[in-house]
Structure 1
Amino acid sequence: MWNGTWSLRVAPKVKHMLRRATNEAIPTLLNLWRRNVVSSVSCPRCNSACEYTIHALWICPVLMVIWEADEISKPFEPRLCSSSMISTRLRWLPPIPLSYKVNFDGAVFKELGAAGLGVVIRDSEGLVIGALAERIPIPNFAATVEALACRRAILFAKEMSIFEATFEGDAEMITNALKNGGTNHPEFDHVIQDSLVLASAFRFCNFSHVKRLGNLVAHYLAKINPVMSYKFGSSPFLMI
């Protein structure tokens, strides 16, 4: 690999940059967080993902304009084309190595006076570590269901002894409230505050918004069997 890198016809500083990127020696927010320099790893450009090396150099949506305008992007096509960028925003993407992604969603069953919560935990290889489908009494406001789903997702991660995770949902109102440290909405601000308190116990915790197509597993878990609750994790699939 290094023979190929050093033989490239590029400036020496570019070669050194590639070497530093490969060895995680670039001061991304994630690397700084690992050294207790910063407290947040959320990318300041797109504010929607963790700033690790690949994100900081290539896949941040804000950088796509630069990559597409430069001739250097051509060998990467179609991965870096506009249509690919749009599909990346829609589909589920795995978390960074040695971390987990926890997707959550809520559903309302007005005819039953109940709501459903769906949570799925996957590792960096996309393997399901745990999942749950839970029924709760229906709250007064629909967005409260999404906030409750997020709080349940954080609790479920703690039950699974997971303390480095990205929590991802398709309700932008809720993810924005979590990123901003709260909201003035009287119906679910207390749930947001509970979630933030729970999240403070994590070594690494990030909140992210994704479109429905990237949250389908949690969405279907929230909608299945509204009269029962199910959970599986380190033990076999259990009925609660």
Structure 2
Amino acid sequence: MEVALYQSGCRTPAQKAYKQVQVFDGVSKQVTKVLSWSPPPPGFLKLNVDGAIFPDQHRAGIGIILRDGKGDVVAACSKLEGDVVSPEFIEASALLRGLQFCAQWGVPKLVLEIDFLLLVNALQSQTVFLTDFAFLINDIRRMMRGFLEVQILHVNRMGNVAAHQLARNAWNVEDIVMWWGSCPYFVSQAVWLDRNNVL
């Protein structure tokens, strides 16, 4: 009896690693990968976010774009962030900022589209991740519970161009720049291509 308890309750490091791979593999199979931008379902808005690191400045940029079912821009944002820890950290920060803005704007239902698969997997998993951005994952999960409904999709980088361009633009921003009901000229082509579903 003691042996059975020991075997079921304690695992070798190799067994633990295998179990984690199984859990991670199961999560990744549930992820819907989108190749290009597509409109959200009726009643939803779609939030795309991205991060960009500027190593020379020791800073990073965040790009946020919120669109409706017709592909029209509801709001867009470029924000400069300091104290960059890692790419994972800035991608998670971008999503957290995007959710904070959407909560302030009173958005009830959201489709989140991000091109960073590790973050998508972390959010869809029940596993506790011991990473340098684990606290951000917890903050994001808390924010997500404040909406009526949230869907998470992993998008190909080509489907996230507008958010990426907004993140790169943060290089030129002192703190934050926002656009309401329109998009800046430098993302207008990406928005048009997304709206017309052109890769």
Q: TM-score, normalised by structure 1?
A: 0.60
Partner of 2:35: 90
Matches within 5 A, 1:125-136: 125-136=70-81
Q: Is the 8 A contact 1:170 1:210 kept in 2?
A: yes
1:183 Cα deviation after fit: 4.2
Equivalences for 1:5-154 in 2 at 5 Å? 47-49=30-32, 89-154=34-99
Counterpart position of 1:158? 103
Q: Return 5+ residue gaps in structure 2 as ranges.
A: 1-26, 185-199
Amino acid at match of 1:187: D
Q: 1:233 to 1:146 in 2, by over 3 A?
A: same
Query: Are the aligned partners of 1:113 and 1:138 in contact in 2 as well (CA < 8 Å)?
Result: yes
Secondary structure, counterpart of 1:152 in structure 2: helix
Please provide the CA RMSD for this pair: 2.4
1:208 aligns with 2:191: no
1:156 positional shift: 1.2
Counterpart among 167, 171, 174 of residue 226 in structure 1: 171
Alpha-carbon distance, 1:161 to partner? 1.1
Conservation of the 8 A alpha-carbon contact between 2:51 and 2:90:
yes
- The question of whether the paired residues in 1 share the 8 Å contact of 2:75 and 2:182 is answered with no
Give the Cα separation in 2 of the matches to 1:160 and 1:233: 11
Inter-partner Cα distance in structure 1 for 2:141 and 2:31: 17
Q: Secondary structure at the match of 2:171?
A: coil
Give 1:83's aligned residue.
none
**TM-score normalised over the length of structure 2:** 0.72
8 Å CA contact 2:73, 2:182 repeated in 1: no
1:183 to 1:105, Cα distance in 2 relative to 1, 3 A = farther
Counterpart selection for 1:185 from 123, 130, 142: 130
Q: Whose strand proportion is higher, 1 or 2?
A: 2
* Aligned-partner SS, 2:40: coil
Q: Percent identity?
A: 28
Tell me, in whole angstroms, the C-alpha distance in 2 between the residues paired with 1:119 and 1:181: 26
User: Using a 3 Å threshold, how does the CA distance of structure 1 residues 225 and 184 change in structure 2: closer, same or farther?
Assistant: closer
Q: Which has the higher contact order (CA 8 A, sep 6+)?
A: 2
Contact 1:108/1:138, CA 8 A, preserved across alignment: no
Q: Is the 8 A contact 2:31 2:121 kept in 1?
A: no
2:56 partner SS:
helix
Matches within 5 A, 1:159-178: 159-178=104-123
Shift of 1:232: 2.2
**Which contiguous aligned blocks of 4+ residues in structure 1 show a shift greater than 3 angstroms?**
234-237
How many residues end up aligned between the 2 structures? 156
Query: How far off is 1:208 after superposition?
Result: 1.1
